[in-house]
Amino acid sequence: MSTKLTKDEMREMVENLLRGLPFMTQEYKIKVEKLKQQILPAPNEESADLQPLGTHKVFSSVLNDVKLNIPAMLVGPAGGGKSILLYQVAEKLKLQYYPMSVNGQTAEYHIIGYKNANGDYIGTAFRDAYEKGGLFSFEEIDAGNPNVLTVINNALSQDFYLFPDKLVQKNKNFRLCASANTYGYGATRQYVGRNPLDAATLDRFGMTYVDYDEELEKQIGPVLEWTLFVQALRRVVSCWDDHVPPIVISTRAVVLGGRDVQSGTNWDNALHKFVWRGVALKPEVIGAMKQEAFKSFIKNYFAYKRTK
């Protein structure tokens, strides 16, 4: 039996509640409970959508947003697979993928194009996606100039945009997404080069947090043992005291470090290349972190092997 209220049921219930019923009948208690289940699902309720192999755990959610033409901003730590996720979404929807890296030097003409000295219009990937259809993504949008990025506001809120050469109708298959390391409120301890974004720009996006997906890492990591140890080390580092400098242990450390270890590189050397990266830590602190991670790794390794 469906737990969802129809529009008529919901309207009827609200109208009766607004009249100020002295008490709620059993019938309306049932309807309120149905509404509660819609708004407040059980914490461990699983999605009906199956996660395709080789995709991030939020893939289905982002795919649905893009299908519904909801501009999606993927927010999460570096190296979590945000760009690949958007590429996979575009591929699934058979849309051309147009990624554009953003930084402090990105100007308005980089987005909407310009006319040269001869009066010829010089186009951009954004223009192509807007006019012909496709999924356009602002990569690391929080690294860009917030004033420049407001040019996308009108492009998202209406069905046409005045480019330097002419007024262009938005293609029905145009989709706009973005990725960021922050929620657009400015620099953090780890991402010191990030800018606050204009509230009018942020308001146009639905935000999805993209953390490191450990199940996906186990699928794509070349060496299972390395993958599980790096995951254990990530948890240890995240819980260490505040005197430890920010350390990003991303999915890239799993994949690139795994390739290095697979080729015969010493694990300690691989850790220095893909995890510590010259961070100012005393050798005894690094040693303590590795010892703590090893305990968790051994436990998780045998538990994982038993399930296979």
Number of neighbours of residue 147 by Cβ within 10 angstroms: 11
Measure the CA–CA gap between 154 and 199, rounded to whole angstroms.
14
pLDDT of residue 117: 95
pLDDT (tens digit, 9 = 90+) per residue, 29-57?
677 677 777 766 665 544 445 678 899 99
**DSSP code of residue 190:** S
Query: Domain map of the chain by residue range?
Result: 7-39, 59-209, 214-306
pLDDT of residue 183: 93
Measure the CA–CA gap between 163 and 142, rounded to whole angstroms.
24
pLDDT of residue 46: 46
Query: Which residues does the chain have with pLDDT short of 70?
Result: 1-5, 13-25, 28-29, 32, 39-50, 308
pLDDT of residue 43: 57
pLDDT (tens digit, 9 = 90+) per residue, 234-268?
999 988 877 778 889 999 999 999 999 999 999 99
- Using an 8 Å Cβ cutoff, are 184 and 202 in contact? yes
Tell me which of 3.50.50.60, 3.40.50.300, 3.90.1150.10, 3.30.1490.20 is the CATH number of domain 59-209.
Answer: 3.40.50.300
Of 185, 187, 257, 203, the closest CA to residue 228 belongs to: 257
pLDDT of residue 15: 65
Of 146, 143, 106, 105, the closest CA to residue 125 belongs to: 106
H or E element that contains 161: strand 160-162
Measure the CA–CA gap between 5 and 281, rounded to whole angstroms.
57
> pTM of the predicted model, to two decimals?
0.79
Both structure tokens of 290: 């590795």
Of 116, 95, 110, 210, the closest CA to residue 152 belongs to: 110
Q: Using DSSP, state whether 257 is helix, strand or coil.
A: helix
Please, what is the end-to-end C-alpha distance for the chain in angstroms?
36
Q: Which residues pair with 135 in a beta bridge?
A: 97, 175
pLDDT of residue 240: 85
